[in-house]
Amino acid sequence: MLVLSRKIGEDVKIGNSVTVTVLSYDRGVVRLGIQAPKEVAVHRKEIYDKIAELNKIAAKSQLTKLKDALNSNHLIFNANEVNLAIPKNNGSKSNY
Amino acid sequence: MDSQKVKIILQTNQFGNLEVEEDSIYFFPNGVLGFEDYKNYVLISEEGTAPFKWLISIDEPSIGFPILSPFYLDSEYNIGKNIDLDNNVLFVIITLQDQNGNMSANLKAPLIFNIKQMTGEQLILPFEKYLTNYIITRESKE
């Protein structure tokens, strides 16, 4: 980890396009201002970690488990009740 | 003469072999959180599991996220900025079973698909009202 000391109002530049400014410090809380282009994602790390963790769990989802859940009828919504615009179904399953 | 559409065959464990047309592949420039290197995905429906859909990674077909339109869970779902609903579609990623056995939806970090440009990204909404683990199963009363 690169460690830099900054006074309030001073900046850190990361790469070509990200600038972090130390805005204020008060009672243990540092406020940071971050300038970055919109294609660069900026998040509090704990939120990022939580969502990445959920994604990792979801990525291993078992189809059979979903089928069981639908058959158990324990979902809070009725699949038939909502009529939505959904994207075209592009993947077609073919059995080889 | 019809032009040949470029198709690829994705071999998946759970969904068999999927025939995917190249122009049905969504490009996620930042992947999804935790999977930033996986940028190419296809959206499929699997028989018997509507209204859920699956987002399958082209790069690693063993990766498949169950997803659902958030409007089944909250008809007022709002990401906080105006999106063109003719060209953009929202989905949320589903955890089929959390540690308590509940199915939950990540309303805080939806996926937004631009069906005109065939791109997608995962957003993190800055609103506390949307949970990462919104429970979508009822307890059965026995």
Provide the 3-class DSSP secondary structure of residue B72.
helix
Q: Could you tell me how many residues make up chain B?
A: 142
Nearest to A96 by CA among B41, B7, B40: B7
pLDDT at B142: 41
Give the amino acid at B98.
Answer: D
> What pLDDT is recorded for position B140?
58
Q: Which amino acid is at B112?
A: I
Predicted confidence (pLDDT) per residue in A49-93, tens digit:
999 999 999 999 999 999 988 888 788 887 665 544 444 333 333
- Scanning B101-130 for CB atoms below 8 A from A yields 103, 106, 108-109, 113, 115, 122, 124
Residues of chain A above pLDDT 90, percent: 62
Of B14, B19, B71, nearest to A94 by CB-CB distance is B19
Which has more confidence, B30 or A78? B30
For B106-130, what is each residue's pLDDT tens digit? 999 999 999 999 999 999 998 889 9
Q: What is the mean pLDDT of residues B57-70?
A: 96
pTM (two decimals) = 0.84
Complex ipTM: 0.91
C-alpha neighbours within 13 Å on the C-beta side of residue B129: 6
Does the pLDDT at position A96 exceed 80? no
Q: How many CB atoms lie within 10 A of CB B116?
A: 10
* B20 interface with A at CB cutoff 8 Å: yes
Report the mean per-residue pLDDT for chain B. 91
Q: How many CB atoms lie within 10 A of CB A76?
A: 12
Please give the CATH topology (third level) of the domain spanning B7-137: BH3618-like (2.30.290)
Least confident piece of the model among A90-94, B17-21, B43-47, B79-83: A90-94
pLDDT at B109: 97
CA distance from start to end of chain A: 51
In chain A, which residues have their Cβ closer than 8 Å to the Cβ of B101? none
**DSSP H helical segments within A1-96, as ranges?**
45-59, 63-72
Average pLDDT of the residues in B28-53: 94
DSSP state letters, A6-41:
--TT-EEEETTTEEEEEEEEETTEEEEEEE--TTS-
